[in-house]
Structure 1
Amino acid sequence: MRFESQPISTRAAFAQSILYEYIKKKSGKSELPDLQLTPEKGISDGEPVPDPAYTGRICIVGAGACGLYLAMMLKYLGFSNVDILEASDRVGGRCFTYPKAGDTATHSYYDIGAMRVPDIPWMEHVLNFTRETLGLADKVVPYIYTSDEKPGPPVCYNFKNEPLKDPAFSEIMDTFMSEYNFMNDFNGAFAKWMDPTKPPLKDNYSTRAWLMIEKNWSYKKIANAELSDTSTGLFDQSLTETLIDYADFAAADSKKWYRVDGGMQTVTDTMAELLASETWPSKSKFHPSPGPSPNLQTCTQVTAMSYSFNHQSKPCIKVTTTSPYSQHKPKVTNYDMVFNTTAMGPLQRMDLSKLPLPDDVHTGIRTLSYDRATKVVIKFSHPWWFKNPDKTQIFGGVSSSDLPISNVVYPSWNDGPDKPAVLMVSYSWAQDATRMGSLVKDFSVPGVKPSKEDEILKLCLRNLVTLWAGTKESPSYEDLMGWVVDDGSDCAPYHAWAWSHDPYTGGAFALFGPGQFQNVYPAFQGLHVGGHIAFCGEALSAHHAWISGAWASAYMQLMHFLEDRKQLDAVRMLKESPFGGSDGSTKPRDGHGDDEKYRDGDDMDEGPDDGEDQTGGYPHPEEMDESLLLNLLKLRQKEWKS
């Protein structure tokens, strides 16, 4: 099979090759034919045949960025009978700003989760969609990823205020990129990289093991390279993951970065508002009237999913939930289709024993690696890092260190020299995040509040003193403690969050271990359980850990669902929508089929237990034939182009 030459990210190209090899293996074919991305009706003459009316009930588990994006697409297409089930008391998932709806005048807030987006081709859609479809153009403002101020933010390694200078690891990564020709011919490079006849197979190595065994690096040299490149413990991820991370961040290094003023949760809150709106989508050629709003339920935890049959003896997924609204009594609802968008931790806690999933999927749910992340912010009486005695003006950028605080992220704004300011005094990952996270209180417990006497605040202040020791008239511990605001206002005196403690995620973001991209990623693509369930989210995208990955995964799994249910007008409509267009615009659509079925809910199932089967004999995963596998490949091509 031949893939088109196109400017795609290294990570997406890697996913493309992984899935291609997976499909060849499943189909038993040495080559696969070229595929057309645009689905056809299958007729050559006469008027187009309208799509069959879809009358099933749809469930979206999780109201994070992925789940809300799915719901917006379904509303845009006119689907009704859609439920969104969210276990927590808010929407947004890892788009989480504290406090909610941050005050943009004083910036007394911080992003606990996602906080920045680079302006690179494979993140472009997130920026365009946020500006145009969500109407937040005035909120998308520059994020200073690297400070241009001189001298720049201070650093500290081995208690010396000097940067680490060890280019050896970067040279190895650069050698891989050039030796295998990854940037110019990824498919050929990947085939060479993964060639089992030429051991060692590098994807089976962690970065640490590769350097130690194949490069004969000492433990100390590897530890220093890990420190200069990433966080403590992250060289235990797969070598392939390290390589494609290196390539992706190299692409973003010289590009502009952006944030959302008011916090990234503004994005998901706006998505939820549009879902509830009676005027979105606005009246247009495609939408004489807005689509029906989904039923969004917070504080509703899914405890079990099982394969069953509804009262019409048609296959369905039974979803069991508990919530305060039902006095915590289990409630069972039948659905024709379920899109699960949760992280793997919450998914593993559900009872899936009666869901006939392939062993590879169960293994993936249990084993897929998640990184940890911890953030700590302190509210000071003024931006002392900006109004420094030696005239250093730290505006944006990061101070890196091997101290417990790891990284200090400076604000990309200046509200004035005498205004209170919130500083992210610690942003850590991996083992560093585990250790800092052990000091984080559970502020959801009644009566538990942050205090100036808490060890985590004192530790961060001591580390700041060490970090800034190389500057003239650097602040003392007493100075910093005296500048801490303790008036009960937002983020005062401090706030902290450890994602590994969050029961709704069980980790910060996916970060694959050796062999996981190769074995876990393809197992989750497409529909499962006779076409009644799909798994979506950043972890199951080529770009995990990014909003773009969550949205791409949602888009592709919905496309797979639409094609399976023969909703080909909807496929075309979605491709030409703001969800499918890389520029965020809605392009004119060829008028095929009757659009009425996308607006009127009269022909949809009513009542909680209809669970209409629309699969048309969709085979069980273990019985997938070549045509289904080829269809899966065709659907994945859209993600690879985006």
Structure 2
Amino acid sequence: MPGLSIFGENDVLAHHGKQLTKRFLLSHLKNNEPPKVTSAPLENYPVGILGAGASGLYTALILDDLGIPYKIIEARDRVGGRLFTHTFPDTTGAPYNYYDVGAMRFPEISPMSRLFHLFDYPPLNSSGIDLKKKLKRNHFYSVPEHAALLSYNGVTVKQNSIPAGDPFRSAAVIKDVDSQSYLLAGAEAIVDDVIRSFAEGLLSDIKNGTTTGWEFMMKYNHLSTRAYMSTDYRPSAKLRLPYGPLSNDVINWLETFDKSTGWYDRSLSETVLEAVAFGWSPTTGMIESTEPGTKWWLLDGGAYQIGDCMATYIRSSKPESIVLNKRVTSIGLDDDSDGKLATPAPVKVVTDGVDQHFFCHVISSIPLPVMRTIDLRKAKLHPMQSNALRQLTYGEAVKIGMQFRTAWWTMAFDKDRKPINIIGGQTYTDSPLRTIVYPSHGDVMDGKTTTLIASYCWTEDAEKLGALIGSCDQVLVDLVIRELSNIHNVTVDFLRNQLIDTFAWDWSRDPCTMGAFAFFGPGKFENAYQSLNTPAADGLLHFAGEAISVRHAWVEGALTSAWRAVYEIILTDPAFERYQGTFLEHWGMDAEWRDEKAFASDPVPLPNPETPHDPQTVSQDLPSPSSPLSLSSHASSMHETLDMRNFNFLRGNLLLGNIAAMHPELCK
């Protein structure tokens, strides 16, 4: 085989996922023989894909490339799932009169390598689709001379000119200890200190091929971030804090400035991994977007185009392969065909309680809370899988987009006749809005983009604000306008006259998601999570979606889970074994499911240098291209050329062992 792409190489999140699987196997595996399943003839029944979000569509791309028949069933009237862009009907600011309600920004880092490979995928960059050309730089942090704001306890300052001392009167909310030393250390430094020992340990594992850092993090996996801070955490001497855990008031103060209300009640490992995914660095902590830091990208025209481009290609290849407006109501092994089928199909999917669809295998990318509403009595779920569907938690998220007549946050003056002058980045506040996201798309330097994400909030903040959406829309608009005026020091009347339209969305109240993204509680990354990385229905129902990955809340997680679900079928069903070579050659190996010590194979030659894209057709401001057979450097931190000369790779042993541990009845 020519050079094999390893997605997630030198990736802390893949390292985490791999070690979780190994621990699970050591605890549960009784029979190390690979499980095998028998499905209906592939020539008679396709693979069923439930959900046309990023995971379902990526599954279809893989199957289409392999020549495996498939059919996608989607409950909505559109594709994309949480790749959702709202365009305001008024044309003010067009073509940038939109905002991304779901995924909106993509850091160019190693844990996101499969997504950037998708951006390069040739079928999505030909015949007028041109996905990669839509990538533009995202001002995740403000343009330095046009900084956004910090607004806490009624005090608002520019992020690039924070006064010394206690500008936000934080001493007033820290009463259970002497606040002075904590305020001198600063919230950012304390949070970094909490995360640092875990993040450095994980990065050391990657560098040295060890598991010491991961084992150290998992020692505290049973704790929430708050519980760890209040019991086991000990500050570094350099912070000059009292030696001992943090008090409740200090933890609340840190959470307010660092995350959203209630975030610290979730898993400590989620907090650590989220910091790494956002570009935590041993030298600078949460690094800025300037070189040599992380580059952030957006899709010009909206992130929905990721799903739309995949669907466009899929429909061009197989016009009838995507079925919309069909809600799945039951999934199970077919035992009641009543002789209607010449060859009984092992998996029956019912939509809208009436229509029946038959498949040889089913890959479900339906969000886990929604799966709980489906009749799964005949799906033969393991009890741990049933518990996982109930117990694995999703986080709340609300976005409120507003369209204005002008980009007043850039062009206007405040009540003191000072220019507001904000371009890109985000304002952080303890007001109900919590985060305000300024546009990065369009001609933002000249204030031509007039849509604003007036609020982006999570967890308990989203739960409260979301209660106003739909039932009290005018109350919601009045609240948002009031808070925007207070934070930016402009009048309410000015903003009312500027406002054209509002569109708010609460992902927890979306019947097709029932939550924004997977956000696990303490300990949930172990048995419950691992159980859904194995199939149900005698090996014929496979789970996918960002929740079934360690990359929660990222499109990358949806893609890696889809890859695993397809590979699961190839490894366990003899009818699909013939596809394994092409699958690995075209879609690579995920580092999360690779064990260097499990198998020795013949040395694999180094991949050939990639062919550069035509400079006349690809902007030099785009990420570096990657071919299906080699990953090149998108930045100094990702896509390092792989030394394949002494490379041992696992043909799914971790995956097979995981299935065997949960389903010994499949091991013959």
Report TM bin, short chain. Answer: 0.7 to 0.9
* Contact in 1 for aligned 2:54/2:559 (Cα 8 Å): yes
* Contact in 2 for aligned 1:527/1:561 (Cα 8 Å): no
Change (3 A) 1:11 1:387: same
Question: How far apart, CA to CA, are the structure 2 residues paired with 1:97 and 1:543?
Answer: 22
User: What letter corresponds to residue 130 of structure 1 in structure 2?
Assistant: F
- Partner secondary structure for residue 464 of structure 1: helix
Q: Displacement of 1:578 after TM fit?
A: 5.7
Q: Which residue number in structure 2 is paired with residue 256 of structure 1?
A: 295
Q: Which residue number in structure 1 is paired with residue 350 of structure 2?
A: 320
* Contact in 2 for aligned 1:356/1:529 (Cα 8 Å): yes
Q: Which residue number in structure 2 is paired with residue 622 of structure 1?
A: 663
Q: Which residue number in structure 1 is paired with residue 101 of structure 2?
A: 112
* Contact in 2 for aligned 1:211/1:217 (Cα 8 Å): yes
Change (3 A) 1:302 1:62: same
Q: Which residue number in structure 2 is paired with residue 466 of structure 1?
A: 486
Q: Which residue number in structure 2 is paired with residue 56 of structure 1?
A: 45
Change (3 A) 1:494 1:579: farther
Q: Which residue number in structure 1 is paired with residue 29 of structure 2?
A: 27
Q: Which runs of 5+ in 2 are unaligned?
A: 1-5, 35-40, 125-129, 163-167, 169-185, 234-244, 281-285, 288-292, 591-623, 631-655
Q: Displacement of 1:510 after TM fit?
A: 0.2
Q: Which residue number in structure 2 is paired with residue 143 of structure 1?
A: 138
2:193 aligned residue (160, 171, 174): 171
* Contact in 1 for aligned 2:267/2:522 (Cα 8 Å): yes
**Larger deviation: 228-237 or 460-469?**
460-469
* Contact in 1 for aligned 2:266/2:522 (Cα 8 Å): yes
2:232 aligned residue (214, 239, 255): 214
1:455 aligns with 2:475: yes
Q: Which residue number in structure 2 is paired with residue 387 of structure 1?
A: 411
**Larger deviation: 267-276 or 154-163?**
154-163
Question: How far apart, CA to CA, are the structure 2 residues paired with 1:152 and 1:457?
Answer: 25
- Partner secondary structure for residue 204 of structure 1: coil
User: What letter corresponds to residue 305 of structure 2 in structure 1?
Assistant: T
Question: How far apart, CA to CA, are the structure 1 residues paired with 2:138 and 2:509?
Answer: 28
1:69 aligned residue (58, 70, 81): 58
Q: Displacement of 1:229 after TM fit?
A: 1.6
1:576 aligns with 2:576: no
Task: With the length of structure 1 as denominator, give the TM-score of the two structures.
Answer: 0.76
Change (3 A) 1:297 1:53: closer
Q: Displacement of 1:306 after TM fit?
A: 1.8
**Larger deviation: 559-568 or 475-484?**
559-568
- Partner secondary structure for residue 161 of structure 1: strand
* Contact in 2 for aligned 1:530/1:620 (Cα 8 Å): no
What's the CA shift string for 1:30-74, capped at 9, x where partnerless? xx99x9xxxxxxxxxxxxxxxx97553321111111111111211
* Contact in 1 for aligned 2:398/2:462 (Cα 8 Å): yes
Q: Which residue number in structure 2 is paired with residue 609 of structure 1?
A: none
Q: Displacement of 1:160 after TM fit?
A: 1.3
* Contact in 2 for aligned 1:381/1:420 (Cα 8 Å): no
What's the CA shift string for 1:304-325, capped at 9, x where partnerless? 1122346567661221112xxx
Change (3 A) 1:177 1:123: closer
Q: Displacement of 1:189 after TM fit?
A: 2.0
Change (3 A) 1:536 1:101: farther
Question: How far apart, CA to CA, are the structure 2 residues paired with 1:192 and 1:420?
Answer: 47
Question: How far apart, CA to CA, are the structure 2 residues paired with 1:386 and 1:494?
Answer: 19
Task: With the length of structure 2 as denominator, give the TM-score of the two structures.
Answer: 0.73
Change (3 A) 1:53 1:89: closer
User: What letter corresponds to residue 157 of structure 1 in structure 2?
Assistant: Y
Change (3 A) 1:178 1:300: closer
Change (3 A) 1:109 1:335: same
Question: How far apart, CA to CA, are the structure 2 residues paired with 1:228 and 1:76?
Answer: 46
Correspondence list, 1:492-507, <5 A: 493-507=501-515
Question: How far apart, CA to CA, are the structure 2 residues paired with 1:294 and 1:5?
Answer: 31
- Partner secondary structure for residue 95 of structure 1: coil
Q: Displacement of 1:585 after TM fit?
A: 2.4
User: What letter corresponds to residue 217 of structure 1 in structure 2?
Assistant: L
Change (3 A) 1:314 1:126: same
Q: Displacement of 1:527 after TM fit?
A: 2.6
**Larger deviation: 579-588 or 14-23?**
579-588
Change (3 A) 1:515 1:624: farther
Change (3 A) 1:102 1:523: farther
Q: Which residue number in structure 1 is paired with residue 558 of structure 2?
A: 550
* Contact in 2 for aligned 1:87/1:300 (Cα 8 Å): yes
How many percent identity over aligned positions? Answer: 27
**Larger deviation: 178-187 or 6-15?**
178-187
* Contact in 2 for aligned 1:538/1:544 (Cα 8 Å): yes
* Contact in 2 for aligned 1:149/1:394 (Cα 8 Å): no
Correspondence list, 1:147-226, <5 A: 147-150=142-145, 152-162=147-157, 165-166=186-187, 167-178=189-200, 181=204, 184-185=207-208, 187-194=211-218, 201-215=219-233, 216-226=245-255
What's the CA shift string for 1:396-448, capped at 9, x where partnerless? 10000100001110011436857561111111011111111111117xxxxx9
What's the CA shift string for 1:361-396, capped at 9, x where partnerless? 001101111001101111111111111333453211
User: What letter corresponds to residue 173 of structure 1 in structure 2?
Assistant: I
Q: Displacement of 1:115 after TM fit?
A: 0.4
Q: Which residue number in structure 2 is paired with residue 490 of structure 1?
A: none
Question: How far apart, CA to CA, are the structure 2 residues paired with 1:53 and 1:385?
Answer: 57
* Contact in 2 for aligned 1:64/1:93 (Cα 8 Å): yes
* Contact in 1 for aligned 2:411/2:447 (Cα 8 Å): no
Question: How far apart, CA to CA, are the structure 2 residues paired with 1:243 and 1:102?
Answer: 42
User: What letter corresponds to residue 320 of structure 1 in structure 2?
Assistant: V
Change (3 A) 1:263 1:504: same
Change (3 A) 1:101 1:117: farther
Q: Displacement of 1:183 after TM fit?
A: 5.6
Question: How far apart, CA to CA, are the structure 1 residues paired with 2:520 and 2:412?
Answer: 41
Compute the RMSD of aligned alpha carbons: 3.1
- Partner secondary structure for residue 10 of structure 2: coil
1:337 aligns with 2:361: yes
